[in-house]
Every structure is written in structure tokens, then in C-alpha cells.
Structure 1
Amino acid sequence: MKKTIFSKAIAILGSIAMLVGVAACGQSNDSTKTAADGNGLTKVTFMLSWAPDTNHIGVYVAKNKGYFKQAGLDVDIVAVAQAGAEQAVNNGMADFALSNLTNVGIYTLKGAKIKQVMQVQQKPSAIWCSLASNKDIKSPKDFDGKTFATFGSNESDAVIRRMIQTDGGKGTFDKVTVGTSTFQTLSSGKADFGGFYATWEGVQADMYGPKLNCFSEPDYGVPGNADAIGIITNTKTISSNPNLVRKFVQATKKGYEYAYAHPGDAAGILVKEAPDANLKPAFVKKSMKTIVDGQYWGDPAKIKDGSFTFGTNDLKGTQEYFDFLAKADTYTDSHGKVIHQAPQSKDLATDEFLK
């Protein structure tokens, strides 16, 4: 199963030291030096951001359907590096990866040279939940004085505080580091609430338990889109090999569009193409149904009539979220010093490869 919402904090905190070194010495990689395989296809590496799930599904579909091959690419889908997908793309270990614009902003402030070239998810899917069996929690204000299962992210602290205060609480809570999983941390009684994603763990809880009582960020005062999940690459690759980026983005976009239009078939492809993940077909299908029904990847009607281009980066929504985080003093540089100026989403993403 996919790691919970705070998994991104692990990679960010764990790779700061390496990132400082890369930023100080300059990038030693040249990701434009792509090799060709025996069939004349350009070899490309795509890195997962966690275990295979429906956020990655478009890449698996693009590979299975031959969209990459049609674009002249031989794409190798690899497991996430210990230091995180963002760091791997920054130092040239991977050509592309799944991430989100929030992470791109955090890493850029610490010296990374990465950019999002396609945004799959168009609205937040984060949910903040207690076990349904915990009758003391009926709304976010009841998180006051309770224990939060966290991976230590300043970002998540700011979100929880805002939700509690919007609901009429003080915004004070204790914290405990998540053990094996947030589900287990809550079930063991070590924490009272934690973070999940509606499109994955939310589905897991509905189908297999434990049942959750959940609250979403937009309903309780958190502005913008915190979950602008999409495809990232190195800025050096963009400048020196834009044709490679365009080919990858176009094929990947086609894969996600197919998955959005044919969610059941795409679910079967993910299960087949990622056998080591041991995904249950019914679970993946339910996850895709949740994505489609919730229009998480955009309004299908607008995509169909051309008024919205699939993959467009939401610069307005993400900037609102970045500004919120900056006001909460969550941003720090590579030395841990607070940065009060929010990253600018217009500098972190581009739609130039969608057409």
C-alpha cells in the first residue's frame, strides 16, 4: 500500500544534506546524454514517488499501450530512491519522476533545479482522520489536545493548526512519530488522528477497514491545492533536450487520459504491470472510480470539449497554498533558516510540453 500523506516529509528531511552538496558543487550530471537501446529507442528512467498506485497509473498505461515506444522512448519505471524522487531527478539518477508542486517548491528553496512539466491532480485529496470508533472526535476542533501521528513535516502541522482554528479550536496538539503505518499508529492508541489520501487509503479504509472519520482541507480553511501531483524533470533537461521532455510528456499525458476515460481497464493494467506491489484488482478499480467520480484530474466534460487541457498546471491554486505555508513559517533553506518569501509557482512549472 502507498505510504501516507507524510511520506514526502521523510524524503525531504532525509535528503537536505545531499542536496546542499549538489547545490554547492553544481550539478555534475548531464541527463541529456540518453542512450539508445538495440531498437533505436531512447532509454529514459521514470522514478516512482512511493509504491505503485493510481497516481502513477498513466505511466504504466503509456508503457503497456505502447505510447512511449511510439514516441521513440524505452521507459524504465524504477522504485523510489531512499533520498526521494525529487533528489534523484535533481542529481540525474532519474530523467523524470512523479512528485507534486508543493515538493518542487520545498526542494527548490534548498537548491534543487527541478520543474513540474505536467500536473495530473487538479484538487486536494488529503484527508485528516481519526478512527470512526473514536467518539471523542466529531470535527477538526476536537483534534485540540489530541495526539497527531506525523512524520515531522512543518507543512502538515500548519495544515492541522489551520483546520482546528477554522473549526473554532485553539490549534494545539501533541505529536508522535508514525511507526509502521498511520493506520497501525492510530489502532494501537499511540495517536488520535493522522493524514491519508481519499483516493487510496480512504478507499482502503472503506473496503477493508478500519473505518475512518475524515475531514478535508478545503472545508476547514486551508487555501489552494496542496496535492498538485504531476511529472517533474530537471531544468537542465528542459533547456538542453526539450524534444525528449515533449515526447515523454505527450506519451504520459495520453496514458493518463486513457486511464481517466477507461478506469477499469487501466486498473487492470496497473495490477499487471506492477506485480511486485500485489495490488488487488477490486481495490485499484475502486481507487480509479473515486478519482473519476471526484473529478480529481479535471472536469471530463471540459477535457472533452477542449476548454481544459489535461495536465495543465494550476498556478493559482498552488500559489494560494504556498502563500499560506509561508505565512505559517514552514519554509526553510538548506541550513534550516526560515524563509518568509513563498516559492512562486509560475517559476516551478510549465505547460509548454502539453501541446
Structure 2
Amino acid sequence: MKKVLLVLCCVVVLAACSKESESSNTTTTQELQKVSIVLDWTPNTNHTGIYVAQEKGYFANQGLDVEIIMPGEVGANQLVASGKADFGVSYQEGVTQARVQDVPIVSIAAVIQHNTSGFASPKEKGIESLKDFEGKTYGGYGAPVEEAILSSLMKKEGADIDKVDIVNMGNTDFFTAVKRDIDFAWIYYGWTGIEAELRDVELNMQYLTDYSKKLDYYTPVLVTNEKMIEESPETARKFMAAVSKGYEFAIDQPDKAAEILIHAVPEIDAELVKASQQWLSPKYQADADQWGVQKLDVWENYASWMYEHDLLEKELNSKAAFTNEFLPKNEEE
């Protein structure tokens, strides 16, 4: 009888502990602060650190429940500025233009340290220099900065942009477009360039950084709004602690990071993700002291270039456009 009572007591105690544990877990989940981040494009390896932070529980460890939002017709900058998203993925060009128009967004981390973009064309097109752009068709996205960069770089090489046919390729796939409508386009090598390698399509590349140091700007970047910085700086600090850890994981373990992105986005091209991650992971931090750091001269250089080319209504206050204050403190400091 005593043994029966002892067993029953144990069952009751275990049941109570189980209920308490479930209650505790529920409470913990309910106590997580809900925040959101809107991407700049469909998920790709620029975003890996975000997905790693979500999958590995880095956000939850910081007390955050983060929703990853896909971009829509309204861009990330507008959603973040209006408070409809707490954080976003943007790029230095966009933040610069937004800031001079008094849009209250601030860059809080550089996803990649150096600009990996450039003008790409299949090798058979014979475009080996900026001069070769003449007589060719460029597939763009309708942004004023595109023509300005083309014009500026071609002029330095003694080439005439008026001899380039510029068309808007919209969302047309690069590989489809160069077979059908255009000769060259502006791409990120870390994604479209790697895809070309996988397709055995040889590309000629004219990287922006090959022609001007001022074009070595941050793209992409993570942004938030001024209200978040002023009213909830601790939220921004927690968010960046988790995201930084996510990108550090992607730097150290690209294969595992790629698998996390593939698992989170099953429809993505797995082979491309794995190859792209291997190429991009060393470039996240590159020569910086830690992931995410931004430098004032990078912001000033590009802003001055944009202003000189009439892409800005007024000069940018570069110091107000970005901050490193929410990055985790470097342990070596």
C-alpha cells in the first residue's frame, strides 16, 4: 500500500512539474518581444545571417520574436521609416537618397564590407571594357543612379553613354534577358555571378570598384528608424547582438549556414545557395575588425559622388546616416 501511495505521489509531483514547465515555456514565449524585419528582395545569401539567428534561437535568447517579411510594392525603406517594420535590409544608395529627403531611417550594419556588384555580360558579347558598352543594350531597373554611374564611368574611359540603348528589364531573369533583349546588366556577383558559374556561362565583369574608390559603398545594409533608436535603443541592441551572431556563424560555417537558409526557404535553389555561401561568407567581414562595422569615409565618399552627379538635392549629413553603436562590443577592444 505504501509503495502504491509512493508511486501515486511521484505521478502527481511529475504531473505538476510538467504543467509548471509547460506554463513556464508558454510564459517565456508570450514574453518575447515581437519585432519585424523586411527584406529588400527574395531570400538569398545576403540574408543568411538573419535566418541563422532565427533558426539557432539567437533572437529568442535576446528576448525577441522576429518576423521576416518579404518585400512588396512598398520598399523596405518606406516600411521601416513609417514604423510598419522595425528593421529592414536596404543599401547605401537608398539610405543616402532617403536621408536627404528627410526620411528618418538609419543604417545600423553593413552586411558586406565591399561592393561586389558590377556590369556583367556573357563572354560572347565581346564586352571587355567600358568603351565596348557603346552600341550595346543595357538592361536596367529604372533607377536614376544607374545611368549616372554608367555615364560617369564611361566618360572617364572616353566613351559616350548616348551610344548605349538603355531599357528597363524589370523582373526579367538576367540569363533570359541577355539571350533575348539586352547585352549587359548590373548584377551582384555573389548571386547572379555564381549562378553563371553553375550554368557554365562565362561572364565578362566590370566591377564598380575597379573604376572608382567612391563606388566601394555598402550594399546591402541593415536599417532601422530614428524612433527605434530614440525610444527603444535596447531593442536595436538585442536585435543586432543576435544578427551579428548569425552572420558570424555564416562566416565560420558556410555549409551549415547554407543548409539553414535552404531549410527556411525550401523553394530556393539549393545548389546556388551552397555555392554562393562559400563565395560570400569570407566577404561579410572581409578586412573589418568585426562584422557590420561601417566607416564614415565610405559614407562621405559615395554621398559626395552622388551630389557631384546631381543625384542628391543637398549634401548628406553622413554622420547621421549610420551608426555602429548597436553592434556588440568587440572583445578585442
* TM-score (structure 2 length as normaliser): 0.85
* Other-structure match for 1:39: 30
Determine which of 57, 67, 70 is the counterpart of 1:66. Answer: 57
Report the CA distance between 1:319 and its aligned residue. 1.8
Q: How does 1:301-312 map to 2 (within 5 A)?
A: 308-312=289-293
Determine which of 300, 311, 325 is the counterpart of 1:319. Answer: 300
Report the CA distance between 1:289 and its aligned residue. 1.6
Report the CA distance between 1:110 and its aligned residue. 2.6
The 2-side partners of 1:298 and 1:272 are apart by 27
RMSD between aligned residues: 1.8
* Other-structure match for 2:128: 138
The 2-side partners of 1:224 and 1:211 are apart by 25
The 1-side partners of 2:212 and 2:225 are apart by 33
Conserved 8 A contact 1:121-1:227: yes
One-letter amino acid of the structure 2 residue matched with residue 41 of structure 1 = L
Conserved 8 A contact 1:122-1:314: no
The 2-side partners of 1:158 and 1:297 are apart by 29
One-letter amino acid of the structure 2 residue matched with residue 298 of structure 1 = A
CA distance change for structure 1 residues 84 and 209 in 2, over 3 Å: closer, same or farther?
A: farther
Secondary structure (helix, strand or coil) at the match of 2:166 reads: strand
The 2-side partners of 1:345 and 1:266 are apart by 33
* TM-score (structure 1 length as normaliser): 0.80
1:344 partnered with 2:317: yes
1:264 partnered with 2:252: no
Conserved 8 A contact 2:110-2:218: no
One-letter amino acid of the structure 2 residue matched with residue 273 of structure 1 = A
Identity %: 33
One-letter amino acid of the structure 2 residue matched with residue 159 of structure 1 = I
1:161 partnered with 2:151: yes
Report the CA distance between 1:231 and its aligned residue. 1.2
The 1-side partners of 2:245 and 2:78 are apart by 26
Deviation per residue, 1:128-153 (Å, 9 max, x gap)? 01221213x22111102322111121
Gaps of 5+ in 2: 1-26
Q: Tell me whether 165-174 or 68-77 shows the greater mean CA deviation.
A: 165-174
Determine which of 234, 241, 244 is the counterpart of 1:250. Answer: 241
Report the CA distance between 1:330 and its aligned residue. 1.7
The 2-side partners of 1:228 and 1:316 are apart by 15
Deviation per residue, 1:200-253 (Å, 9 max, x gap)? 001111112543211101212362423432211110111001111100011111
One-letter amino acid of the structure 2 residue matched with residue 90 of structure 1 = A
Q: How does 1:59-208 map to 2 (within 5 A)?
A: 59-135=50-126, 137-172=127-162, 173-179=164-170, 180-188=172-180, 190-208=181-199
Secondary structure (helix, strand or coil) at the match of 2:285 reads: coil
Higher helix content, 1 or 2? 2
* Other-structure match for 1:31: none
1:220 partnered with 2:211: yes
The 2-side partners of 1:38 and 1:269 are apart by 22
Conserved 8 A contact 1:267-1:284: yes
Conserved 8 A contact 1:58-1:255: yes
Gaps of 5+ in 1: 1-35, 303-307, 332-338
Secondary structure (helix, strand or coil) at the match of 2:113 reads: coil
Q: Tell me whether 190-199 or 158-167 shows the greater mean CA deviation.
A: 158-167
Secondary structure (helix, strand or coil) at the match of 2:31 reads: coil
Determine which of 280, 285, 305 is the counterpart of 2:274. Answer: 285
Conserved 8 A contact 1:162-1:220: no
Q: Give the aligned length.
A: 300
CA distance change for structure 1 residues 171 and 186 in 2, over 3 Å: closer, same or farther?
A: same
1:298 partnered with 2:283: no
Secondary structure (helix, strand or coil) at the match of 1:138 reads: coil
CA distance change for structure 1 residues 222 and 177 in 2, over 3 Å: closer, same or farther?
A: farther
* Other-structure match for 1:5: none
The 2-side partners of 1:81 and 1:239 are apart by 27
